[in-house]
Structure 1
Amino acid sequence: MPPTGVAIRDPREQLFAAAERVLLRAGPSALTSRAVTADAGCAKGVLHRHFEDFDAFLAELVRDRVARIEARSAALCAAAGTGDVADRLAEALADLFESVAVAIVGLITSRDELRARLRQFTPVGIPLLTEATAMLAAYLDAERALGRLAADADVGTLAPTLIGAGHLLFADRHATPPTTDAVRKVVTTVLAGALP
């Protein structure tokens, strides 16, 4: 661990990456400012120099991950009209839930103060899952506009159904992640009747 006073490069990203490692390794209950700074290899004061308090740090971590979903959403919508719709959705779900997203959802649901801080950015729903649902809805809407999804497909129901099913597939962080075929099977089952 570097001694106090030694500068670290891009401390926010280093601290965010450390928080993700702690979440993945030990879960939301193990996530403390001490655990994060120890994993980042920096003094505890580094976190408090960059964030008002630990919940402010966690809120910024979630907002940073939400911004990544929004960037993925643009790329997914740009891919509309290409490839197989079910394959694209299965890839999007795996990309979302194979990351630290499942652990972050657990963190959000277990910390009242964090949820309260995030309400200003995500007033309804569960932050991260709400934005992920919007990502899939935008993609499904784009595919529907291109005629690759039935004109009467209920995107407002399909998107949260896919997110919920995907979340359940990946929810056990100690189990082996589901196979690509398992994720695709869920997607094709949810989309049954929505594909022309």
Structure 2
Amino acid sequence: MPTGVALRDAREQLFAAAERVLLRDGPNALTSRAVTDEAGCAKGVLHRHFADFDAFLADLVHDSVARLDARTAVLLATAGTGTVADNLTAALVDVFDAVAVAMVGLITFRDELRARLRRTWPTGVPLLTEAMAMVRAYLAAERDRLPDGADVDTLALTVVGTAHLLFADRERAPDSEAVRAVVAAIVG
């Protein structure tokens, strides 16, 4: 007799469930039991697809980072159009959604997860590191529209670090005008 409902794409359903738990209850509440309860499946489903819970979390982070590739392509396509500040603001508002902000907290919270992620990202926090690479690539494409002598690496680090601070409050994200004002001040 079946004990649960068949999952069509177990990985994606488990990832979506983990994101819901993370957003609703925070990183402390993210356990394998909370994820499988949220997904409506047996705990064994998670362990059938992942070696352990930290492997699941590492894949969750990798999946989230992979979504930045599409965002990077969209941002790079805006190079030479609009304003640099407007283009960066739109990208940052998109990148620093509630899930990404909560994921940064999760990475900070779990030592074993950070250790696993160091295999791919030896320094930095994965989502922030990849966001910085995205901004750096965009600013390099916009070099002609930046002030003379602008250091793209420093600007990217400053833009992403500042944006993360603006978005770090899980209860309330800043409005896009506040983000734009800070980005405009940084990129000149």
**TM value normalised by structure 2:** 0.95
Spell out structure 1 runs of 4+ moving beyond 6 A: none
- Name 1:189's counterpart in structure 2: 185
- Name 2:83's counterpart in structure 1: 84
- List per-residue Cα deviations over 1:10-30 (Å, max 9, x = no partner): 111111111111111111001
| CA distance in 1: counterparts of 2:166 and 2:4, whole angstroms | 44
C-alpha deviation, 1:153, in angstroms: 1.1
**Secondary structure of 1:86's partner?**
helix
**Secondary structure of 1:177's partner?**
coil
The within-5 A match list for 1:1-196 is 4-144=3-143, 147-174=144-171, 176-192=172-188
Tell me, which stretches of 5 or more residues in structure 2 are unaligned?
none
**Secondary structure of 1:6's partner?**
coil
| CA distance in 2: counterparts of 1:149 and 1:13, whole angstroms | 40
**Greater CA drift, 45-54 or 67-76:** 67-76
C-alpha deviation, 1:52, in angstroms: 0.4
**Secondary structure of 1:66's partner?**
helix
Aligned residues: 187
> Counterpart amino acid of 1:121?
T
The question of whether the paired residues in 1 share the 8 Å contact of 2:71 and 2:95 is answered with no
C-alpha deviation, 1:9, in angstroms: 1.2
| CA distance in 1: counterparts of 2:3 and 2:65, whole angstroms | 32
- List per-residue Cα deviations over 1:48-104 (Å, max 9, x = no partner): 110000000000000011111122112211221112210111111111112311111
| CA distance in 2: counterparts of 1:95 and 1:88, whole angstroms | 11
- Percent identical residues: 70
- List per-residue Cα deviations over 1:101-160 (Å, max 9, x = no partner): 11111111111111111111111111111011000000000011xx22234211111111
Higher normalized helix content (fraction of residues): 2
| CA distance in 2: counterparts of 1:8 and 1:53, whole angstroms | 19
> Counterpart amino acid of 2:173?
P
C-alpha deviation, 1:170, in angstroms: 1.1
Tell me, which stretches of 5 or more residues in structure 1 are unaligned?
none
> Counterpart amino acid of 1:184?
R
| CA distance in 2: counterparts of 1:172 and 1:42, whole angstroms | 32
Superposed CA RMSD in Å reads 1.2
The question of whether the paired residues in 1 share the 8 Å contact of 2:58 and 2:113 is answered with yes
| CA distance in 2: counterparts of 1:151 and 1:10, whole angstroms | 50
